[in-house]
Structure 1
């Protein structure tokens, strides 16, 4: 029996059942044409009707909308898949979580007519994976060196494997390339410092391995859709006396 071409409505129905993966499809003008419930929750809307027909700029904060539109423009212009983009996205309830996004061009009559996107929720590593003991040493190294991020070669040496082997194993266990894993660790540390200390943003930047505050702000906003200052103010609301948590 040869390969079976599934109808589009069957694929949409399949994605509708997924809870840990956000799915959406857009036309060439950037309008959402299909979304699943996980995406609806991500957009902060009540149902699909409130999302379908809209553009990213109508649903998300400017920094995120601009990033999504830039990604879409690349896929539409080049006709090539955009793979494994690391993003910090708010889960249901407002808790930030790490996702990997892939965007695929949709072709019709020899041209690109839209984009299909999936964002996978990155969960914890599989503790039964035989590579985890070696990778645990890498995790410890990265945690100890957030202010001076290790290079991939150092991480590979710590794990006792080649750089290419480290890449394969980290993708299999964590869903991330080594450089993405390091970046996630740095931003996670920044989130912790922003919410549990009153350190100035410049000091938070240095503590997380960024050479200055503007570089830190750009990277944080690119991944989280808001600046570090905005994240801090939202996470630590001002109390009745004007200082500290409410």
Structure 2
């Protein structure tokens, strides 16, 4: 059994969908996303402006679609939230992969609560056409003490994955014991802190493999692996392909999209 769940199951499976289904694009998916009461879903253009907002998002903003589409998050959310979302969108549109980022979002009634946000760029890295995102409620209020600490700790993992703090150090920064910290991380992510770090490193590696010409050895070091074989094992265990195999797969998809 692999240490981590497959990292990119959708990306690997979509290649084998019948062309008749692939041509349907996002329309059918977006219709289904209207029926997720605890998940905000959205599509934005290359400037981070809303092209689609699901029913849940519109209800929480207390706005009709006409008052959201064409605007950035900073123009429709409270300043304390919206500015960060727009900055985040810019990072995703320039190649950053965001997966289950712990952050505050609007809950029903306009109150802030904790969620896990995932965003993916749409289009080619050098010519993005937009992004797709989901924010899933954790049903924890803004004042939840352990969530505040976890958000700070996981932000460090996202920023310092090449040379990360130790688990005890992260627990201290979160104001929790190591045992409680590990339990809370598993509750939120379904992973141990070490597995969460590995996932973050591998996701950074997939971006570098698909968007740069750096060698596999250079990418291993960039992602905190100073043993090339350890990087190769971790990558294949998470993705199901070797680093070189994934690069070939990503380049093949890019070439196919240009046809």
Match of 1:119 in 2: 135
The answer (yes or no) to whether the contact 2:41–2:135 under 8 Å persists in 1 is yes
Runs of 4 or more above 6 Å deviation: 153-156, 176-179
- CA distance in 2 between counterparts of 1:38 and 1:60 reads 14
Output aligned runs, 1:1-246, within 5 Å: 2-3=16-17, 5=22, 7-45=25-63, 47-77=64-94, 79-108=95-124, 111-123=127-139, 151-152=169-170, 158=179, 166=182, 170-175=184-189
- The DSSP-based 3-state class of the residue aligned with 2:108 is coil
- CA distance in 2 between counterparts of 1:14 and 1:43 reads 20
Higher RCO (CA 8 Å, separation ≥ 6 residues)? 2
What whole-Å deviation, never above 9, does each CA across 1:187-233 have from its counterpart, x for those lacking one?
Answer: xxxxxxxxxxxxxxxxxxxxxxxxxxxxxxxxxxxxxxxxxxxxxxx
- The DSSP-based 3-state class of the residue aligned with 2:93 is helix
- CA distance in 2 between counterparts of 1:98 and 1:157 reads 22
The answer (yes or no) to whether the contact 2:44–2:52 under 8 Å persists in 1 is yes
**C-alpha spacing 1:29/1:175, structure 2 compared with 1 (3 Å):** same
The answer (yes or no) to whether the contact 2:53–2:65 under 8 Å persists in 1 is yes
Larger Rg computed on CA atoms: 1
**C-alpha spacing 1:176/1:72, structure 2 compared with 1 (3 Å):** farther
- CA distance in 2 between counterparts of 1:100 and 1:109 reads 24
What TM-score comes out, normalization by structure 1 length? 0.50
The answer (yes or no) to whether the contact 1:28–1:113 under 8 Å persists in 2 is yes
Count how many residue pairs are aligned between Structure 1 and Structure 2: 147
**C-alpha spacing 1:93/1:152, structure 2 compared with 1 (3 Å):** same
The answer (yes or no) to whether the contact 2:60–2:109 under 8 Å persists in 1 is no
The answer (yes or no) to whether the contact 2:81–2:104 under 8 Å persists in 1 is no
**C-alpha spacing 1:59/1:151, structure 2 compared with 1 (3 Å):** same
**C-alpha spacing 1:156/1:120, structure 2 compared with 1 (3 Å):** same
Where do 5+ consecutive residues of structure 1 fail to align?
A: 125-138, 143-149, 180-246
